[in-house]
Amino acid sequence: MSNQEKLKVTVTGSGGSRGVPRIGNDWGVCDPSNPKNRRTANALFVEKGDARIIVDCGPDVRQQVNSLGRTIKTISGILLTHIHPDHTCGLYETQAFLQTGSKIPLYTSGECYDYLKQAYPFFFKEAPGYPPAFDVTTIEEGGFEMNGVDIQAVPMDHGNCKTLGFVFDEKVAYLTDTISMPDEWFDKLASMNLEALVIECTGYEPMSCHLHYDKSIEWARRIEAKKTYLTDLRPNSDYEVLKARCPETIEPAYDGLVIECE
């Protein structure tokens, strides 16, 4: 298999909703001299062959795509995990990928699509000179394909809304903004022998709608990926301090981390 045909996942954003540093130059406990502590809102960029997929589309999406270090003129589509603006408010920027006469494929839950139609109606309504920007497919669970990448949607609960995890080619799983997942999906993910798990870790104290450190490690041990990366990191999590605390095979993600699969 050539390098171009291999699955490649870039963690374009490893931070929480407001990144690190937060506005006002708030680094929290993070060391500003370590580049791995500078974080944008959590997101992925998935590539395989001709496939180019944006996973979550928050306020930093333009910076994140530009940070890939090469010109990206087209994408295969967008996946959105849930309704919150740090995962959706950058959709406007992606209109730069619109091709004449075509719309951008977008996959998300029915709940998220309903929210998008209310929050950004101009993306989905026909208007003179402004055709709809997105071709939306709603999915709640199960498999679909996008330009040669097999994708599975994992149903999860975010406390105040539903959220989707995504699995790519049964090699890399992305689980963020969640507090619970059906037991059968733990079994399914464990049976895949994943090369990598990218999972949220919002700090050391329990939260009502996010996984904190102890829960993230518990989930990682149940899923047993070869490598686990903690994402959605806040100013309360210095990269080196968190890395030193992590068990073997688990470490913090950072903006620009590349996961290349065999």
**Residue 141, Cβ neighbours under 10 Å: how many?**
13
Give the DSSP H/E element, type plus range, for residue 155. strand 149-157
Give the DSSP H/E element, type plus range, for residue 231. strand 227-231
Cα–Cα distance between 225 and 228 in angstroms, integer?
6
The percent of the chain in helix, strand and coil, each rounded to the nearest 5, is: 25, 30, 45
**Residue 262's pLDDT is what?**
78
Cα–Cα distance between 250 and 179 in angstroms, integer?
19
Output the tens digit of pLDDT for each of the chain's 262 residues. Answer: 555 689 999 999 999 889 899 999 999 999 999 999 999 999 999 999 999 999 999 999 999 999 999 999 999 999 999 999 999 999 999 988 987 668 999 999 999 999 999 999 888 887 777 778 899 999 999 999 999 999 999 999 999 899 999 999 999 999 999 999 999 999 999 999 999 999 999 999 888 899 999 999 999 999 999 999 999 999 999 999 999 999 999 999 999 999 999 7
Query: Could you tell me where the DSSP H helices lie in the chain?
Result: 61-66, 85-88, 110-119, 183-191, 213-223, 239-245
39, 17 Cβ separation under 8 angstroms? no
Q: Provide the 8-state DSSP code for 99.
A: P
Rama region for 2: left / alpha / beta (φ>0; ψ in -120 to 50; rest): beta
Instruction: Work out the burial of residue 21: count CB atoms within 10 Å of its CB; fewer than 13 is exposed, 13-18 middle, 19 or more buried.
Output: middle
Domains for the chain: give ranges and CATH numbers. Answer: 7-261 (3.60.15.10)
- Which tokens belong to 247? 């068990």
**Residue 4's pLDDT is what?**
65
Cα–Cα distance between 219 and 216 in angstroms, integer?
5
Taking the mean position of all CA atoms in its chain, how far away is CA 24?
Answer: 25
**Residue 100's pLDDT is what?**
60
- Model pTM score: 0.95
- Which tokens belong to 198? 């990218």
Q: Which residue is associated with the tokens 């071709």?
A: 135
145 Cβ contact list (under 8 Å, min separation 6):
151
- Which tokens belong to 125? 């309504």
Cα–Cα distance between 224 and 195 in angstroms, integer?
9
Cα–Cα distance between 120 and 54 in angstroms, integer?
19
